[in-house]
Structure 1
Amino acid sequence: MGLSPFQFVYGKACHFPVEMEHKALWALKFLNFHPNETQSKRRNQLLELEEMRLHAYDSSRSYKDKVKFYHDRKLIKRTFHPGELVLLFNSRLKLFPEKLKSKWSDPFVIKSVFQNGAVELEHSNEDNQQRSWIVNGQRLKHYLGRDVEKFASEMMLVDP
Structure 2
Amino acid sequence: MPRPPAVGAAAPDFELPGIVLSTSPAPEIRRGTYRLSERPARPLLLAFYPGDDTPVCTRQLCSYSAGLDGFASVGTDVWAISRQDLDSHESFASGRGIELPLLSDLDGTVTAAYGIAVPGLGLRRSVFLVDVAGIVRWRHVGLVGLSFPSREDLLAAVRSLDR
Q: Normalising by structure 1, what TM-score?
A: 0.19
Q: Normalising by structure 2, what TM-score?
A: 0.19
Q: Normalized per residue, which structure has more helix?
A: 1
Q: Which has the higher contact order (CA 8 A, sep 6+)?
A: 2
- Rg larger in 1 or in 2? 1
